């Protein structure tokens, strides 16, 4: 086990845990944002630089600070490490810069984008960015492409997180899409016109942090915040899919089906294309009840609040630290149901 | 005239062949190394004080000693011959003229590191050099210096040359390894470092061509003797690629410590600025290091003569100094437009960004576009601050050092030549005349 | 010779196949993908100076890779031409040190002489102009690379004409880049 101090809060995690996952154990507003890292996807992370943090002390053995900010999603903790995220002005400034970089070529077409309301980039910009832009040049644009009957690729919105590439690599037997080109001319594509037709291809929609890969069966149907998520399951004949999903209702209609996600927007169990695209009747499903959206986002019907800190971590802190945090909170402290702590 | 340790025999007829190279003392270093333990070879390199000649200047012996050596796991020595830092062309020269020097260094280095297979990753554009190397390697195999049981020592080594495909980024060691594995040249996140997980996830050392070649004279003369050459921590000799507006551009092997002024103006070296013109600025260590105006490249801020050493060139930090880098020495005469040159470098880094991480992918393009505007007379004063700010947002926040390489030239150009940028804003008409250059109040057309 | 657009499924010549077999011995058995860049170079030399999707599929098949793995790589590295090219591709270095010694003027001059703009092929099919970044020949600027030959110090009309007439007298023969005994792939007629 390794004990680290993250934004003044001590937490103990198994050796080899990344700084980001140690922060996620604490929970709440101290958790660095992640636009490319995705726990279920091996190899993901390190690219977007949204989660950069300052390591003020490397370890007990070598307490020197690290010379540069590090990507918390891929940097493992060391015992005695001291990390600054929300408590470092440098980190917050750099993060603003990252928001700006990610937005300069992003179309900002949120009003017509199906991802709006549950978009990682929207949330990231809202929480960490500035509201003006200094970019005056022409933005990079691409034609929209239909990759198969269910998925549309809108490359203009892509932030090149590579998540969909890892998904195809790790979930399907033959990846047909990838990252083509180089630099800011890189794009997700199949090179020659090709259809992504694997049974699990629909999962690329769920992992996409922005509206670059969207569900054609849900296209322009409804803003996500006007739909009601309900957990449901069915007996799925596909051996790798256990049919645990979230149905998104408008009135009595199932408008779309997605995998269930955790508070960091990460899919808990992958689902097959049949469950996702072809089962749009309530009768197809055994309803479990309303889905709780853990995530802070406009999807939570305008209750846009910072998530709360893990009460178990708070319980282990010395009282003086808790009082200090309450007085000068870098984050919102809370109890199990989000009540003020 | 200083000592030449690498290029002493470069003009000998047929030196690219095994027989002639051998006759001039070639492969003695390998014979010597094979009689030592690998640790002793590493120790000699450590004692020599050799610093990586690719650009970062990290001590080679120290790098070698970091290599993980788990039992039963192959390890690799990979030579970085992806020379593509603008202003740098020494490795191409060394490999084409003295292929056996590199091969000899590769054998000695591989032996020191316990590698049984080693690779030379050469940039794809240098196909003709690849052929020269392949031919030389075949000769070395035939002479029993490569393959099974080299010279009866019991040590075996295979050496292969591998071409790139056209990507500056593959000079970054982890991008190079990705490329050698047949992938896109995307630099890896670190840790793990190559010393622990490099080629095929095996412990790997990646060294520049010149660094590896230098192991040969180090072993021949001994690390201590080698360390006596040069000044302070800048030991030995180094190849400098001189280019730009010089009378005699080319490759020069210098004992570290030659004054910059002598290097530029002496007939022994670059022979002064061409066409009888004045020197305006120098980029001393490849395009990524900060540009310095004449006054600061010839003398430090304290008025000391600047020397061709790691320490002297970086004297003053980035405020008044620069870096030795790869030794790519680009001289610019008084007719050079610094704005245009900065835009050109910016375009290079934009073109060469792998696109993997957001600050570099987006930031390099942004810099190029704003600099293009400034150069073409459409910029504003605000743009000058903007490029400095964008450069700062890239620097230090990327996966690999290409971010810094893209940011430093821009920041330094504005730092030292801000008035020239401002002139482009205030005098767009004059500034966009062909060949127009700002020289104080004087416009040279 | 017009650039060939393969209609039938392309196949490597026996010499190329032998060369690929040799290259495969350079890497561990489970690391066949390592040969991708050298094999793409061979493919480009074999099939008219560019790699069509069909040729890239052949490379994938030869090395047991998914086609996308080849596309990802061929589009990353600038040496691979993804569209048909003329008999000779003039790769003009445009980076700083070459620019300082007249690469802009050289490019404009070559555009005038050949009748092709950068990115285009001349009407006679002889020359494709391509701007590239630093070729590591900065001391001999400005520089043009044509296949594996470097033409240096092209700041005089004489040197430019010498390059062009040498190229015009040459017949393009697809010779493997890896045949070590040949000085270059541009053989005199």
Which of A47, A62, A191 has the most B C-beta neighbours within 10 Å, making it the best mutation to test the interface with B? A47
A2-6 and A151-153 beta bridge pairing: unpaired
Q: How would DSSP label each residue in A33-44?
A: P-SS--TTSTT-
> C133 with B349: CB under 8 angstroms?
no
**pLDDT tens digits, B179-211:** 999 999 999 999 899 999 999 999 999 999 999
- C69 to chain A, closest Cα gap in Å: 8
Tokens of B24: 């001039």
Give the domain ranges of chain C.
14-76, 88-168
Best-predicted range by mean pLDDT among B213-217, B433-437, C115-119?
Answer: B213-217
Mean pLDDT on B337-343: 97
Residues of B in contact with C144 (CB under 8 A): none
Q: Is the pLDDT of residue B52 over 70?
A: yes
Specify the DSSP element, H or E, that contains B382.
helix B381-394
pLDDT along chain A (341 residues), means of 10: 96 96 93 96 96 97 96 97 96 95 93 92 88 90 90 95 94 90 94 81 95 95 90 93 94 94 91 96 94 65 57 78 69 38 29
Q: Select from B413, B401, B312, B412 the least CA-distant residue to B85.
A: B401
pLDDT on residue A338? 36
Main-chain phi, psi angles of B332, to 5 degrees: -125, 130
**Tokens of residue A323, six digits:** 């009082």
- Distance, CA of B9 to CA of B5 (rounded, Å): 9
Q: So what's the pLDDT on residue A305?
A: 53
Contact B390, B363 (CB under 8 A): yes
- Pairwise CA distance, residues B151 & B148, whole Å: 9
Which tokens is B379 given? 């910029």
Task: For residues C137 and B90, give the distance between their C-alpha atoms in angstroms, rounded to a whole number.
Answer: 9
Contact C68 A192 (CB under 8 A): no
Cα A200 to chain centroid distance, Å, stands at: 19
Is pLDDT larger for residue B82 or for residue A302?
B82
User: What per-residue confidence (pLDDT) applies to A195?
Assistant: 75
Does the pLDDT value for residue B444 go beyond 80?
no
Tokens representing B92 are 């191409």
Is the pLDDT at C3 greater than 90? The verdict is no
Whether the bond into C142 is cis, omega within 30 of 0: yes
Q: According to the model, what pLDDT value does residue C175 have?
A: 37
- The answer to whether the beta carbons of residues B384 and B374 sit under 8 Å apart is yes
A180 to C53: CB separation less than 8 angstroms, yes or no: no
Q: Are B396 and A181 in contact (CB < 8 Å)?
A: no
Say which residues have a Cβ less than 8 Å from residue C118's Cβ, sequence separation at least 6: C92, C107, C111, C129, C130, C131
Q: Which of B116, B125, B184, B239 to mutate to test the interface with C (most CBs of C within 10 A)?
A: B125
Contact across the interface for A182 and C76, Cβ inside 8 Å: yes
Peptide bond into A201 cis (omega under 30): no
Q: How confident is the model at residue C172 (pLDDT cuts 50, 70, 90)?
A: very low
* Contact: B397, A186; criterion CB under 8 Å: no
Q: Are A19 and A246 in contact (CB under 8 A)?
A: no
| Of residues C41, C91, C136, nearest to B83 (C-beta) | C136
C36: left (phi over 0), alpha (psi -120 to 50) or beta: alpha
Q: Single out the residue of C183, C185, C174 nearest to residue C55, CA to CA.
A: C174
Q: Chain C residues contacting A, CB < 8 Å?
A: 53, 66-69, 71-72, 75-76, 78
Residue of B342, B305, B324, B327 lying closest to B416 (CA atoms): B342
What's the rounded mean pLDDT across residues C19-40? Answer: 96
DSSP β-ladder status, B279-283 and B204-208 = unpaired
| B124 and C CB contact within 8 Å | yes
Q: Would you say B98 and B16 are in contact if contact means Cβ atoms under 8 Å apart?
A: yes
**SS3 sequence of chain C:** CCCCCCCCCCCCCHHHHHHHHHHHCCCCHHHHHHHHHHHHHHHHHHCCCCCCHHHHHHHHHHHCCCHHHHHHHHCCCCCCCCCCCCCEEEEEECCHHHHHCCHHHHHHHHHHHHCCCCCCECCCCCEEEEEECCCCCHHHCCCEEECCEEECCCCCHHHHHHHHHHHHCEEECCCCCCCCCCCCCEEEC
Going by pLDDT thresholds of 50, 70 and 90, the confidence category of residue B157 is: very high
Helix (H, G, I), strand (E, B) or coil at B332: strand
Rounded mean pLDDT of B284-313? 96
Decide if B363 and A101 are in contact by the 8 Å CB cutoff: yes
> How many residues in total does chain B contain?
445
* pLDDT over 80 at C8, yes or no: no
Q: Quick check: C68 and A179 CB within 8 A?
A: no
Rounded distance between C-alpha atoms, residue B416 and residue B281, angstroms: 10
DSSP output for B97-112: H-HHHHHHHHHHHHHH
Q: B93: closest CA among B11, B23, B171, B24?
A: B11
How far CA B298 is from CA of A164, B235, B313, in Å, comes to 53, 21, 10
pLDDT digit string (tens) for C92-117? 999 999 999 999 999 999 999 889 99
To which H or E segment does residue A190 belong? none
**Pick among B358, B374, B391 to test the A interface (most A CBs inside 10 A):** B358
Task: Give yes or no for a contact between B215 and B109, defined as CB atoms under 8 angstroms apart.
Answer: yes
Residues 114 to 153 of C: which have CB under 8 A from any B CB? 132-141, 145, 147-150
Query: Which residues are within 8 A (CB) of C101 and not within 5 positions of it... i.e. 6 or more apart?
Result: B244, B245, C141, C142, C155
> Which residue of chain A is at minimal alpha-carbon distance from C72?
A180
Q: For the residues of B401-433, what is the DSSP string, one character each?
A: THHHHHHHHHHHHHHHHHHHHHHHHH-HHHHTS
Identify the CATH class of C14-76.
mainly alpha
Spatial separation of the C-alpha atoms in residues B348 and B364, rounded to whole Å: 9
Pairing of strands C88-93, C127-132: parallel
- The answer to whether the CB atoms of B165 and C183 lie below 8 A apart is no
Three-state SS at B2: coil
How many other C-beta atoms lie within 10 A of the C-beta of residue B216? 30
Sheet-wide strand order for A145-147: A145-147, A151-153, A213-215
Looking at per-residue pLDDT, the higher value among B364 and B435 belongs to B364
Give me the CATH topology for the region C88-168: Glutaredoxin (3.40.30)
What pLDDT, on the 0 to 100 scale, is given for residue A330? 52
**Chains touching C (3+ CB pairs < 8 Å):** A, B
Taking an 8 Å cut-off on Cβ atoms, the answer to whether A49 and B386 are in contact is no
Torsion of CA B386, B389, B393, B395, to 10 degrees: 120
Closest CA to A50 of A22, A83, A74: A74
- Report the alpha-carbon distance of residue A184 to residue B353 in Å, rounded: 8
**Do C67 and A191 lie within an 8 Å CB cutoff?**
yes
CA–CA separation, A179 and B357 (whole Å): 13
CA–CA distance from B281 to each of A276, B45, B293, C16 (Å)?
63, 35, 4, 49
pLDDT in tens, B232-273: 999 999 999 999 999 999 999 999 999 999 999 999 999 999
pLDDT at residue A101, as a whole number: 96
**Residue A307 DSSP one-character state:** P
Interface size A-C, in CB pairs within 8 Å, comes to: 31
Q: Which residues of C touch A180 (CB under 8 A)?
A: 71-72, 75-76
State the pLDDT confidence band at C173, using cuts at 50, 70 and 90.
very low
> What is the Cα–Cα distance from A200 to A196, expressed in whole angstroms?
10
In this predicted structure, the answer to whether residue C177 has a pLDDT above a threshold of 80 is no
pLDDT tens-digit series, residues B377-412: 999 999 999 999 999 999 999 999 999 999 999 999
Residue B161 bridge partners (DSSP) = B120
Q: Where do the DSSP E strands lie in B66-164?
A: 76-81, 117-122, 158-163
Q: Is the ipTM of this complex over 0.90?
A: yes
Q: How close A47 gets to chain B, by Cα (Å)? A: 4
Cβ neighbours of residue C141 closer than 8 Å, sequence gap 6 or more: B243, B249, C93, C97, C98, C100, C101, C102, C103, C152, C153, C155
Contacts B187 to A, Cβ<8 Å: none
pLDDT beyond 70 at B97: yes
B363 → chain A, closest CA residue: A101
**C-alpha span between A92 and A98 (Å, rounded):** 10
């Amino acid at each position: 086990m390794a004990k680290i101090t993250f934004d003044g809060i001590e937490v103990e995690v198994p050796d080899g845990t990344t700084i980001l996952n140690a922060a996620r154990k604490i929970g709440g507003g101290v958790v660095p944002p992640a636009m490319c890292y995705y726990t279920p996807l091996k190899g993901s992370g390190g690219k977007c630089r949204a989660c950069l943090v300052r390591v003020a002390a490397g370890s007990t053995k070598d307490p020197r600070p690290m010379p540069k900010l590090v990507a918390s999603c891929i940097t493992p903790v060391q015992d005695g490490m001291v990390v600054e995220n929300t408590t470092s002005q440098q980190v917050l400034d750099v993060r603003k810069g990252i928001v700006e970089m990610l937005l300069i070529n992003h179309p900002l077409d949120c009003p017509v984008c199906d991802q709006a309301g549950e978009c990682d980039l929207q949330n990231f910009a809202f929480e960490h960015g500035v509201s003006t832009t200094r970019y005056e040049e022409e933005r990079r644009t691409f034609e929209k492409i239909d990759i198969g009957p269910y998925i549309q690729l809108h490359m203009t919105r892509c932030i090149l997180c590579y998540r969909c590439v890892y998904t195809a690599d790790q979930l399907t037997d033959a990846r047909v899409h990838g990252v083509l080109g180089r630099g800011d001319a890189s794009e997700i594509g199949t090179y020659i016109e090709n259809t992504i037709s694997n049974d699990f291809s629909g999962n690329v929609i769920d992992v996409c942090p922005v509206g670059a890969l969207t569900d054609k069966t849900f296209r322009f149907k409804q803003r996500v915040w006007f739909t009601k998520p309900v957990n449901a399951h069915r007996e799925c004949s596909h051996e790798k899919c256990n049919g645990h999903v979230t149905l998104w209702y408008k009135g009595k209609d199932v408008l779309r089906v997605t995998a269930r996600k955790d508070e960091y927007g990460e899919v808990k169990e992958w689902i097959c294309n049949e469950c996702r695209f072809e089962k749009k009747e309530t009768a197809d499903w055994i309803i479990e009840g309303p889905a709780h959206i853990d995530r802070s986002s406009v999807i939570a019907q305008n209750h846009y609040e910072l998530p709360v800190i893990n009460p178990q971590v708070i319980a282990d802190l010395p009282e003086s630290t808790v009082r200090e945090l309450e007085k000068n909170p870098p984050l919102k402290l809370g109890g199990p149901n989000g009540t003020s702590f | 005239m200083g000592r030449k340790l690498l290029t002493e025999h470069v003009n000998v007829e047929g030196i690219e062949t095994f027989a002639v190279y051998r006759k001039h003392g070639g492969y003695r270093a390998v014979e010597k190394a094979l009689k030592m333990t690998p640790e002793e070879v590493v120790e000699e390199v450590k004692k020599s004080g050799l610093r990586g000649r690719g650009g970062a200047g990290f001590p080679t012996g120290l790098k070698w000693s970091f290599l993980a050596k788990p039992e039963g796991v192959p390890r690799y020595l990979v030579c970085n011959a992806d020379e593509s830092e603008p202003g740098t062309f020494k490795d191409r020269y060394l490999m084409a003229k003295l292929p056996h020097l590199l091969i000899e260094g590769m054998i000695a280095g591989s032996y020191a590191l316990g590698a049984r297979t080693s690779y030379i990753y050469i940039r794809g554009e240098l196909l003709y050099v690849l052929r020269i190397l392949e031919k030389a390697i075949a000769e070395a195999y035939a002479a029993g210096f490569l393959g099974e049981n080299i010279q009866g020592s019991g040590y075996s080594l295979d050496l292969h040359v591998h071409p790139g495909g056209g990507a500056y980024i593959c000079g970054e060691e982890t991008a190079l390894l990705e490329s050698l594995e047949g992938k896109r040249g995307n630099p890896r996140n670190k840790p793990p470092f190559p010393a622990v997980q490099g080629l095929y996830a095996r412990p790997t050392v990646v060294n520049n061509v010149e660094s590896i070649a230098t192991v040969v004279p180090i072993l021949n003369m001994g690390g201590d003797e080698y360390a006596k050459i040069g000044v302070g921590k800048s030991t030995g000799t180094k190849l400098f690629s001189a280019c730009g507006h010089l009378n005699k551009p080319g490759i020069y092997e210098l004992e570290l410590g030659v004054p910059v002024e002598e290097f530029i103006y002496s007939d022994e070296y670059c022979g002064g600025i061409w066409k009888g013109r004045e020197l305006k600025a120098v980029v001393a260590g490849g395009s990524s290091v900060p540009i310095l105006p004449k006054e600061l490249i010839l003398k430090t801020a304290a008025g000391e003569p600047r020397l061709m050493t790691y320490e002297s060139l970086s004297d003053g930090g980035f405020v008044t100094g620069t870096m030795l880098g790869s030794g790519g020495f680009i001289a610019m005469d008084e007719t050079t437009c610094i704005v245009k040159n900065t835009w050109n470098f910016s375009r290079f880094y934009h073109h060469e960004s792998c696109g993997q991480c957001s600050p570099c992918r987006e930031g390099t393009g942004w810099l190029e576009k704003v600099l293009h505007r400034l150069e073409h007379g459409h910029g504003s004063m605000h743009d000058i601050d903007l490029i400095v700010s964008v450069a700062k947002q890239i620097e230090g926040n990327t996966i690999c050092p290409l971010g810094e390489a893209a940011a430093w030239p821009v920041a330094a150009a504005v730092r030292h030549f801000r008035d020239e940028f401002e002139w482009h804003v205030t005098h767009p008409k004059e500034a966009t005349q062909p060949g127009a250059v700002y020289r104080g109040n004087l416009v040279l057309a | 010779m017009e650039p060939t657009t393969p209609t039938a499924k392309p196949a490597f010549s026996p010499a190329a196949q032998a060369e690929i077999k040799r290259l495969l011995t350079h890497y561990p058995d489970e690391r066949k993908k390592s040969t991708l860049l050298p094999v793409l170079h061979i493919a480009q030399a074999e099939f008219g100076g560019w790699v069509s999707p069909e040729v890239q599929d052949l490379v994938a098949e030869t090395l047991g890779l998914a086609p996308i793995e080849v596309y990802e790589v061929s589009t990353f590295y600038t040496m691979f031409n993804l569209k048909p090219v003329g008999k000779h591709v003039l790769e003009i270095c445009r980076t700083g040190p070459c620019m300082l010694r007249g690469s802009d003027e050289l490019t404009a001059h070559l555009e005038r002489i050949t009748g092709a703009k950068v990115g285009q092929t001349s009407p006679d099919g002889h020359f494709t102009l391509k701007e590239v970044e630093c070729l590591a020949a900065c001391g001999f600027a400005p520089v043009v690379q044509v296949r594996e030959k470097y033409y240096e110090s092209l700041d005089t009309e004489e040197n430019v004409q010498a390059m062009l007439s040498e190229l015009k007298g040459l017949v393009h023969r697809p010779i493997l880049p890896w045949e070590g005994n040949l000085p270059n792939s541009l053989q005199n007629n």
